[in-house]
Structure 1
Amino acid sequence: MPPSLKFIAIASLCAFLGACTLVKFPGVHRIEVQQGNIITQEMIDQLKPGMTRRQVQFVLGTPLLEDTYNPNRWDYVNRIRDKKGDISQERFSVYFDEDSLVSTSGDLQPADWP
């Protein structure tokens, strides 16, 4: 077999195998993938103005992102890819003044926030 024909055969096989990931085979089990922090409305409702960083971390857990340029902001992100491949994302941020919680922002908000 000539070397050029071998090269074409190998390249075709690689292209075919690469294209197999684009095809969704029926009956293949897909799982739900969750990344980030799980934050519920009940957890957020426990936040009160003036809480310390340790108290907030106890309620919400360790933040996914701590902004290097703004150490007074913690970001919590929850991203879920369901079995169909659809992606949903929720964001929640808390803001501190020194060591005291002063405000929040994001997709969920505390119920009794002043």
Structure 2
Amino acid sequence: MPAPTRPHARRGARFLAAPAALAAGLLLAGCGGMSLTDRMLGVVTPYKVEVVQGNVVTKEQLAAVRPGQSRAQVRDILGSPLLADIFHADRWDYVFTIRRQGAAPQQRQVIVRFEGDVLKSVDAPELPSERDFVASIDTFKTSRNAPPLALSEAQVKALPAPARAAATPAAAEQPAAELPRRYPPLEGTR
């Protein structure tokens, strides 16, 4: 004959079942990834590794590259290409990607074609200027407007006159202390 169950034991099992089910649900939800805002309970923000690959090619750099330049000149301006395929020796690919927390991910590809050792053409999307690129990856929320470091003419005139130290007659009569003329050697003597 089965052992009789106690009524208070059933209530305790039901009492523990709800928190256990809630904890299991939270654990399974954590396995599925983070929420769309990548924040848990509005408090914890996971660290994301900043991924930067390739060369940044800006509008100013692209303006300096002209057809007829040698490979060495193009390399000096744009840097070494990310992809230089031995099967396509007349093509260099400059691929750039960046994923930075707090900034929109960016990806660009610039293709440089050569005829022998001479630049033939450059295929590139609309590239940002250097200033625009830096502004797009700047994740500081504070303003970086620095105050001017020079005083205007009106500010200089408003400054108090410097206080001059009164020269005492005793200090004027004393000669300056003589500095030693002999210096120790820099290396130890043997």
Is the shorter-chain TM-score for this pair beyond 0.5, marking a shared fold? yes
From 94, 97, 102, the counterpart of 2:112: 94
- Shift of residue 85, structure 1, vs aligned partner: 8.2
Superposition misfits of 4+ residues, deviation over 6 angstroms:
none
Alignment gaps of 5+ in structure 1: 1-11, 110-114
Provide the C-alpha distance between the structure 2 equivalents of 1:64 and 1:71, rounded to a whole number of angstroms: 13
Equivalent pair of 1:51/1:100 in contact (CA under 8 Å): yes
Provide the C-alpha distance between the structure 2 equivalents of 1:61 and 1:100, rounded to a whole number of angstroms: 16
1:68 aligns with 2:80: no
Q: Which residue of 2 aligns with 1:104?
A: 122
Q: Which residue of 2 aligns with 1:19?
A: 31
Higher RCO by CA contacts (8 Å cutoff, separation 6 or greater): 1
Q: TM-score, normalised by structure 2?
A: 0.43
* Matched length: 94
Q: TM-score, normalised by structure 1?
A: 0.69
**How much is the aligned-residue C-alpha RMSD, in angstroms?**
2.6
Percent identity for Structure 1 against Structure 2: 34
Equivalent pair of 1:52/1:99 in contact (CA under 8 Å): yes
Secondary structure (helix, strand or coil) at the match of 2:65 reads coil
Alignment gaps of 5+ in structure 2: 1-23, 128-190
Provide the C-alpha distance between the structure 1 equivalents of 2:63 and 2:126, rounded to a whole number of angstroms: 10
Secondary structure (helix, strand or coil) at the match of 1:66 reads coil
Look at both structures and tell me which one has the larger radius of gyration over its CA atoms: 2
Secondary structure (helix, strand or coil) at the match of 1:58 reads helix
- Shift of residue 70, structure 1, vs aligned partner: 1.0
Provide the C-alpha distance between the structure 2 equivalents of 1:85 and 1:38, rounded to a whole number of angstroms: 16
From 65, 72, 77, the counterpart of 1:59: 77
